Structure 1
Amino acid sequence: MIFAGLSRNKPVISIQTNKTIEAEFGVATRLNFFQAAGRMSWAYCRNVCSDQSGGARLSINRRAGVPPAARGSQADWANSNGLSAGLPLRPRRSRSASWSHCTAKMARRLPMNPEFGFIIFLAVLCLSASAASSEERVIIISPHNEAIRLEFARGFRQWHQQEYGTPASVEWRSVGGSSDALRFVISEFAKKPDGIGIDCFFGGGEEPFLLLSDKKLAARYPPPAEVLAGIPQSFNGIDVYDPNLTWFGAALSSFGILQNARVQKIVNLPLATRWEDLTQPRLYGWVGAGDPRNSGTMTVMFETFLQAYGWERGWQMLAQLGGNVRKFDRVSSTTAKDVTLGETAYALAIDFYGFTQVSVAGRTNLTFALPQDFTAISPDGLAILKGAPNLTTAERFVDFVLSEAGQKLWFLPRGHPEGPQKYSIERMSIRPGFYSRYRGVSNIEFSPFDLKQNFRYDGKLGRGRREILPAMIGALIIDTHSELQAAWRAVVQRGRKVEEVTELGRAPLSETEAFQLATNQWKNAEFRNLKKIEWQTWAQKRYRAIAKGSAARVENVGIRIRQ
């Protein structure tokens, strides 16, 4: 409890928690007062002002032995400003709310006496520190969108209150897509190897967590047995969580084709049921995709093409698909929204974005199809980072996300008593029992645990090529997109001859060469930059030659770097 008042010729601060401390400052001159008060450190105020009850109040101390004249003027001022002895000023739990609340009152009630005003200001700082330290928090970097961030922050706060008797808050950090977030985290650890002031990495597929685990940047955490009960460690060769417990699948992801059925009907376009349908010439300009240099989702999707079709055939498919793409978006969520708006009729999309857009526009307008030729299922991860500043709360956040309470936020529809309240999330749960228990309740109608297919996505192979593949796609398809489209149109006009389609999709290096490059020289920044320029120049010359009908095979430019 904090009391401020005047004692004879001296201002008095009485700071009371379990015991009372009085600090008196001489005011022979105004300068001496502020010099003396300034020696009261912020850390000291914070420790003294903390109160186990969580309450604090600021008032005029009328019993401080003030001379009659001073006492009268002080009481008049207090009454005129609505401030009486014992008037509580209780801060909110939120740090920002506490500060705005207290400073607003201070602005209305600040006395004309500057020494007295400083006392109130000092007390407000103490109140703000006390309120800020009273609530548990966890700091999370995530590429997830606002819907997931809001629902999981709300859900965790309520769950923490029920389990531990106090609420807990989530502070989100966002730097873009999952590739952006991963680069940021790794660069920060390079400067601060013991910890970067962030507790968790949440979302972005599987590869970021494999990389963080390999670099020893993900902390091992064994959740309680009751939390892991009902969650398989793996199925169909897919890890749901790391056997060494350095990361956990928070949800399961699949990739498919989001389609605008109304646009397809108007312009007479077909329903796509296979990935190769997106290479049909009639779809030119109607396909949307994201940039894998910014989106981890797109990186996984393009990597899936190369694994499912093989290196050479996969690049041919990507070149033809790239020729049909209207534009490459920096953020993959924009790609899905463009289908809803009718800017495109098809989009490569993760299931979550697909289901969300379908729920917004309606099933008669949009559809999300899992292609029949192959479908990749992979976990969308969560990990505690090395040196987490709020380790206990971070571990509790992991427990919450894996628990039934957390999984229901992914799986149940908006408005369900145990589901999300404001936004539909619509993602596949890591708990197999949910699919039968909530059949007819959840909008997710199939179980990935029942899916039978021959294709198995190789997460370790994808992790090894994660840095080089986006650079190759950027140089060969995205940065040279206008030249690729011109070449693709020319190939189509000439009847899509096999040799021209093969040349259009030829990669500048073999799969073995790409993997060797990724594990060795790609760590050299100068080499990386020059190699990107080399690939881009090579692709431009090749596409221009194909557009002109030249049969000449364009070889690599072969830019050298300084040794």
Structure 2
Amino acid sequence: MQKRTWVAAAMAAGLAWGAAGAAGAATVTVLTSFPKELTSAYQKAFEAANPGIKIEILNKNTTAAVAYVRELPEGQRPDVMWASAPDAFEVLARAKLLTPAPDTVNKNAPTKIGNFPLNDPEGMYYGQALAGYGIMWNTRYLKAHKLEAPREWSDLTKPEYFGHVAISSPSRSGTTQLTVETILQGEGWDKGWTQLLEMMGNAAAVTDRSFAVPDGVNNGQYGLGIVIDFFGLAGKYSGFPVDFVYPSVTAVVPANIALISGAKNADEAKKFMAFTMSSAGQQLLFDPKISRLPILPYDTLKAPAGYPVPQEVAKRAKVHFDTNLAESRYQVVINLFDQMVTFRLKELQAATKAIQEADKALKAKPNAQGKDLLAQARSLAYSPLVGEGNAKDPQFLELFKKSRRDVAVSKELTGMEQMWADKAKSNYAKAQQLAQQARGMAK
């Protein structure tokens, strides 16, 4: 009864807010990377409670959204930024492109999830939902291919998963960038990249949009997908034959919402932000097509039976996500991933297949020289082209934060990326050759 009263009160407040603003109709432009299933639900519910305000959804992936806000002058920018990646909000905050809106915060929400602050300590952006990172799989697909369900990221490096894994490019998906960064923070730079590259050697595809991965797993195109949790949970609770797991190396961080500086309709935008964090707005997250983790305690909401509890997931998670670290190397990580994986997937796949075949042959018939050659092949294929020293060098990192509109900067960055691409291609070809030689010695 108490829950119903809380929801009713929140909706009544929303209706009262709407009545007050009905006299002057306004349009709030929301810039977001979220799928239509989520944005449509919030748009419909908010407009019903606030008939004087229209919501316009402008959908862009997170990286493109950040660039879009940075390029527009004040007065022409969207009103609200709404996305999963906390480091993207940090980029906008440091560029002074966000405005505090403390009156939109729901006081019933906790201040922290695990050790991670729910809201930006500087008050520039606010947690609206919670998310963790993991692996989803199609249960029928795994049964048909006689594959075990994975539990850890390291499982995806095993030869039996070759050609069965899908991921989206972190340069095109903020949620994938967060997943990659979480692994790097959990394992450390060098070990993290080695694990990522071994996993990616088993990849069937690197997609342009994050939605393509869960869609492909749901319909059986791919066996497994590296995803943010709500993709796996949405598939599961919508009735697809899929399941999802949080590996131990994961993090629970907020999906954020913020008021953009120079917003044309700031007051109305704040009303929308407040609605998304209200009890009524949080309850929408349990819709099977949305399936996100709310910021509010479950005793104030009506959660489905067995639904993941974010505080419990956070307690098990080994990664205490460092937003400042993620923001500092944001461009380096996504550019490096593209040059080593996205644009060189076929070469990485070929090297990985040769390594796996050589490893199998040498286990059946050991050979010392073959073992050495195989170790060299692994080093070439699975070592990052940027060492940990450079990844910590402020001067090196600063280059990637500069605008490509500067001709000199653009030339330097393009030259570096081409060098990475050429080196990756050469390393994979050499790794494949060495692995094939190693396999030959086992005959």
**Please, what TM-score do these two structures have when normalized by structure 1?**
0.67
Distance 2:295 2:396 in 1: 32
In structure 2, the partner of 1:169 is 54
| Structure of greater relative contact order (alpha carbons < 8 Å, 6+ residues apart) | 2
**Is 1:546 equivalent to 2:431 in the alignment?**
yes
Q: 8 Å contact 1:233–1:243 — kept in the other structure?
A: no
Aligned length, in residue pairs: 393
Q: Distance in 1 between matches of 2:177 and 2:255?
A: 14
Task: Select which of 259, 262, 269 maps to 2:140.
Answer: 262
| Amino acid across the alignment from 1:378 | V
Question: Residues of 1 paired with 2:253 and 2:38: CA distance?
Answer: 18
Local SS of the residue matching 1:508:
coil
SS across alignment from 1:348: strand
What's the secondary structure of 2:197's corresponding residue?
helix
Q: Tell me the CA shift for residue 274 of structure 1.
A: 0.8
C-alpha distance in structure 2 between counterparts of 1:518 and 1:213, whole Å: 22
1:472-498 residue CA offsets vs partner (Å, 9 max, x unmatched):
000011111111111111111111744
1:392 paired with 2:392, answer: no
Instruction: State the distance in 2 between where 1:223 and 1:525 align.
Output: 41
Residue equivalent to 2:319? 455
Any gaps of 5 or more consecutive residues in structure 1? Answer: 1-131, 161-165, 415-423, 553-563
AA aligned opposite 1:526: K
Residue of 256, 277, 293 corresponding to 1:381: 256
Residue 143 of structure 1 corresponds to which residue in structure 2?
Answer: 33
AA at the equivalent of 1:219: T
**Which residue in the other structure is 2:80 paired with?**
200
Partner in structure 2 of residue 446 of structure 1: 308
Whether 2:234 is the aligned partner of 1:370: answer no
**Correspondence 1:13-28 to 2 at 5 A:** none
Q: Hey, what does 2:96 align to over in structure 1?
A: 216
Q: CA deviation at 1:515?
A: 3.6
SS in 2 for 1:169: strand
Choose 373-382 or 384-393, whichever is displaced more. Answer: 373-382
Instruction: Tell me the SS of whatever aligns to 2:243.
Output: strand
> CA offsets per residue over residues 137-163 of structure 1, 9 Å max, x none?
211111111111111111111233xxx
1:478 aligns with 2:342: yes
- Is the 1:427–1:444 Cα contact (8 Å) retained in structure 2? no
Equivalent residues in 2 for 1:276-287, closer than 5 Å: 276-287=154-165
Per-residue CA shift, 1:283-332, capped at 9, x if unaligned?
Answer: 11100000111111111111111111111111111111111111111111
Distance in 1 between the 2:436 and 2:349 partners? Answer: 18
Residue 458 of structure 1: CA displacement? 1.2
2:149 counterpart of 1:271: yes
Distance of aligned partners of 1:315 and 1:551 in 2 relative to their CA distance in 1, 3 Å threshold? farther
Match of 2:9 in 1: none
Alignment partner for residue 237 of structure 1, among 105, 109, 115? 115
CA distance 1:353–1:303, shift in 2 (3 Å) = same
Offset at 1:244? 2.3
Aligned match for 2:67, one of 174, 178, 183:
183
The residue identity in structure 1 corresponding to 2:126 is: F
Q: Any idea what SS the aligned residue of 1:520 has?
A: helix
Determine the C-alpha separation between the residues in 1 that align with 2:301 and 2:68.
39
Q: What are the superposed Cα offsets for residues 40-71 of structure 1, whole Å, 9 maximum, x if unpaired?
A: xxxxxxxxxxxxxxxxxxxxxxxxxxxxxxxx
Match of 2:276 among 401, 413, 421: 401
Provide the secondary structure at the position in 2 that maps to 1:361.
Answer: coil
Match of 2:420 in 1: 535
One-letter identity of the residue aligned with 1:481: L
Contact 1:141 1:200 in 2 (8 A): yes
Q: Which amino acid aligns with 1:179?
A: T
Select the residue among 423, 426, 430 that pairs with 2:295: 430
Q: Is the 8 A contact 1:142 1:201 kept in 2?
A: yes
Alpha-carbon contact 1:467-1:518 (below 8 Å) kept: no
Instruction: Quote the RMSD (CA, aligned, Å).
Output: 2.1
Deviation for aligned residue 1:506 = 1.0
CA deviation profile, 1:49-97 (whole Å, cap 9, x unmatched): xxxxxxxxxxxxxxxxxxxxxxxxxxxxxxxxxxxxxxxxxxxxxxxxx
Listed one character per residue, the Cα deviations across residues 374-397 of structure 1 (whole Å, up to 9, x for unaligned) are 221111011100110001101111
Q: Which has the larger radius of gyration?
A: 1
Q: Deviations over 1:15-48 (max 9, x none)?
A: xxxxxxxxxxxxxxxxxxxxxxxxxxxxxxxxxx
> Does the Cα contact within 8 Å between 2:233 and 2:291 map onto a contact in 1?
yes
Distance 1:356 1:299, change over 3 A: same
Matched residue SS, 2:231 = helix
Deviation at 1:337, TM superposition (A): 0.6
Question: Does the aligned pair in 1 maintain the 2:136–2:243 contact within 8 Å?
Answer: yes
Q: Give the Å deviation of 1:438.
A: 4.7
* Aligned equivalent of 2:384: 507
Distance in 2 between the 1:504 and 1:285 partners?
Answer: 17
Cα distance in 1, alignment partners of residues 87 and 52 from structure 2: 32
Deviation at 1:254, TM superposition (A): 0.8
Letter in 2 for 1:472: L
CA drift of 1:170 comes to 0.3
Q: Percent identity?
A: 24
Q: 1:444 to 1:329 in 2, by over 3 A?
A: farther
**What's the CA shift for 1:499?**
4.2
Note closer, same or farther for the CA distance 1:368–1:199 as it changes in structure 2 (3 Å cut): same
For residues 486 and 201 of structure 1, the distance between their equivalents in structure 2, rounded to whole angstroms, comes to 41
For 2:377 and 2:332, how far apart are their aligned partners in 1?
26
The 8 Å contact of residues 465 and 518 in structure 1, kept in 2 or not, is answered as: no
Residue 359 to residue 551, structure 1, CA distance change in 2 (3 Å): closer
SS of residue paired to 1:467: helix
1:550 CA displacement: 7.4
1:111-158 deviation digits (Å, cap 9, x = unpaired): xxxxxxxxxxxxxxxxxxxxx995232111111111111111111112
Give the Cα separation in 2 of the matches to 1:465 and 1:256.
22
How has the CA–CA distance of structure 1 residues 329 and 443 changed in structure 2, closer, same or farther, with 3 Å as cutoff?
Answer: farther
In 2 relative to 1, CA 267–168 (structure 1 residues): closer, same or farther, beyond 3 Å?
same
Helix, strand or coil at the partner of 2:133: strand
Structure 2 partner of 1:70 = none
Distance 2:170 2:204 in 1: 16
CA deviation vs aligned residue, 1:222-257 (integer Å, no higher than 9, x gap): 216xx5321122232212111222101110011111
Contact 1:249–1:379, Cα closer than 8 Å, also in 2: yes
**Are residue 347 (structure 1) and residue 232 (structure 2) matched?**
no
Instruction: Report the Cα distance in structure 1 between the residues aligned to 2:65 and 2:137, rounded to whole angstroms.
Output: 29
Q: Which amino acid aligns with 1:428?
A: L
Asked if the contact 1:384–1:394 (Cα under 8 Å) also holds between the matched residues in 2, the reply is yes
1:464·1:518 contact (CA, 8 Å) conserved in 2? no
Shift in Å at residue 196 of structure 1?
A: 2.7
Runs of 4+ aligned structure 1 residues displaced above 6 Å come to none
Name the SS for the 1:549 alignment partner: helix
TM-score by length of 2: 0.84
Indicate conservation of the 8 Å contact 1:159/1:400, yes or no.
Answer: no
Q: Is the CA contact (8 Å cut-off) linking 1:158 and 1:167 kept in structure 2?
A: no
